Amino acid sequence: MQIHTHRPWGKRLAAVALVTSLSVAATVALMPLKPLAAQSVGAVPSVRGLPDFTDLVDAVGPSVVNIRTVEKVRGGARPSGQEEQMLEFFRRFGIPLPPGVTPRGPRAERDGEEAERPRGVGSGFALTADGFIMTNAHVVDGADEVIVTLPDKREFKARIVGTDKRTDVAVVKIEATGLNAVKIGDVSRLRVGEWVMAIGSPFGLENTVTAGIVSAKQRDTGDYLPFIQTDVAINPGNSGGPLINMRGEVVGINSQIYSRSGGFQGISFAIPIDEAVRVSDQLRSSGRVTRGRIGVGIDQVSKEVAESIGLGKPEGALVRSVEPDSPAAKAGIEPGDIIVRFDGKAIEKSVDLPRLVGNTKPGARSTVTVFRRGSTKDLTITIGEVEPERVAQRPESKDTKPPATSLVKSLGLSLSELTDAAKAELKLNGGVRIDGAEGAAARAGLREGDVILAVANTEVRGLKEFEAVVAKADKSRPINVLFRRGEWAQYAVIRPATR
């Protein structure tokens, strides 16, 4: 941590106070005296004053806990970088160390001697009166011991009920009763610009209150979470603490910050509480989270692609690959399809699909609406279950060229038929192989080895079909090409050269 001091704090504060008082006096002297009603614009309500958070602190403060984690290490181990920074912060400002945090000394450095070392400090809040605490998964991940300190200074060793790294949600349990459980808010009612408050333990400083406004909703920073973005001051130790609305309800879990220095820089993210509660319910019932999967690799749909294939606006999720024997493959979903609805819910952006599928119970039957070559089609799919750490295989096809070749000069493509062996290996019924790409095709991103599956929204099984479709196409307009590279399928838009 770097702390810059250019002059004594007392003189700096005095100067700031003087400038501020003069500025305020000048502003008041120049301000025209108009009634508040005359200053309002349209239907926008006038600001009547800044919010008072004192009642919220009194109501929610008793529900927020401090969480310390401990790991067992061999003598000689050095403290982590985060711990070094935290200790330096306390040393420079003369702040007493939090419970359980001790400075490093020669005794702790003996080789071969196992010792407990503070690993991190975070926050949490009471879900139930009988001891269930919600926090972030990264707060307790890898800890040998978790210690929960209540606002009344009582300490308990906690048992980790379950963690979910995908959403960064964890639930721990302490043997205590009569806790002040939080009230869960409705995230759908949360509005951008609304005041919110956070309570946590930044740098181990317990029961610290900060406030700000909601900067954005549905912020896409993860596969399964549409984060709430705020400008509430969040620092190391705030993780896992509640984000609270003006009704005293928890609407999120403070989880991440955007920072280039490691400290707060005005942008922080919270996990929406409805998503977190859904995860916590599963953790409490089974200790793990099950999510649905259909076995597709997806990408965004660009405006250019949407216009060229007749989709209209860029929406849905472009299917780039389909895993063999997956629920998607069995349902008839193909590479190049654009999934526009799932169980009747519109897919506005590609990230909407994994969230909807992930929240669907494995084994359930759902309806998927796909846009394929100019029209939509409903498919019935049985949802599978996400397998941990599954890695998609990407086999490469053997370059075996059959004798039949074609040169499509207007597109800059040199093509050949696929061999039966290549079709079997790629699990394709047809298509043509690109032997060379230049000019317009190269500028569109096509290259040797790619396999073209469709052109101008028309499926092609061989060279003759490809040439027939291109011959009928308007040479002055862009033409869309669905191609496969390895196991991934995607669209390219070729802009043919015109005379």
Q: In this structure, how many other beta carbons lie within 10 angstroms of the beta carbon of residue 348?
A: 14
Q: Are 278 and 289 in contact (CB under 8 A)?
A: no
Q: How far apart are CA 160 and CA 96, in angstroms?
A: 29
Residues serving a catalytic function are: 138, 168, 239
Q: What is the pLDDT of residue 12?
A: 38
At 116, the amino acid letter reads: E
Domain locations in the chain?
58-173, 183-286, 292-385, 405-494
**Mean pLDDT to the nearest integer, 197-203:** 88
Q: How far apart are CA 224 and CA 229, in angstroms?
A: 16
Structure-token pair, residue 157: 């060793």
What would the pLDDT profile of 378-390 be if each residue is shown by its tens digit? Answer: 999 999 988 653 3
Query: Per CATH, which fold does 292-385 belong to?
Result: Pdz3 Domain (2.30.42)
Whether 369 has a pLDDT exceeding 90, the answer reads: yes
Could you tell me whether strands 317-322 and 338-342 are parallel, antiparallel, or unpaired per DSSP bridges? antiparallel
Structure-token pair, residue 439: 């000019």
CATH number for region 183-286: 2.40.10.10
Q: What is the pLDDT of residue 6?
A: 37
Handedness of CA 427, 429, 431, 433 (dihedral sign): positive
Q: What is the pLDDT of residue 218?
A: 82
- Residues 390-407, buried b or exposed e (16+ Cβ, 10 A)? eeeeeeebeeeeeeeebe
What would the pLDDT profile of 236-279 be if each residue is shown by its tens digit? Answer: 788 899 999 999 999 999 987 655 445 556 788 899 999 999 99
Equal fold, 292-385 vs 405-494 = yes
Q: Are 10 and 17 in contact (CB under 8 A)?
A: no
**Mean pLDDT to the nearest integer, 200-212:** 86
| pTM reported for the whole predicted model | 0.61
Q: What is the pLDDT of residue 496?
A: 65
Query: Per CATH, which fold does 405-494 belong to?
Result: Pdz3 Domain (2.30.42)
Q: How far apart are CA 364 and CA 347, in angstroms?
A: 19
H helix and E strand count, the chain: 12, 28
Could you tell me whether strands 169-173 and 183-184 are parallel, antiparallel, or unpaired per DSSP bridges? unpaired
Q: What is the pLDDT of residue 477?
A: 83
What would the pLDDT profile of 402-425 be if each residue is shown by its tens digit? Answer: 445 566 777 888 899 988 888 888
Q: What is the pLDDT of residue 236?
A: 79
Structure-token pair, residue 469: 């479709």
Q: What is the pLDDT of residue 57?
A: 93
At 60, the amino acid letter reads: V
Decide which of 476 and 315 is more confident.
Answer: 315
Strands (E), 75-168: 114-126, 132-135, 145-149, 155-164
What would the pLDDT profile of 412-458 be if each residue is shown by its tens digit? Answer: 888 999 888 888 888 788 899 998 888 888 888 888 888 998 888 88
Q: What is the DSSP string of 396-446?
A: PPP----S-EEEETTTTEEEEEPPHHHHHHHT-S--EEEEEE-HHHHHTT-
Q: How far apart are CA 129 and CA 181, in angstroms?
A: 5
Q: What is the pLDDT of residue 205?
A: 80
Domain range 58-173, its CATH number among 3.40.50.300, 3.40.228.10, 2.40.10.10, 3.10.450.40: 2.40.10.10
Q: By mean pLDDT, which of 227-241, 259-273, 320-334 is the weakest?
A: 259-273
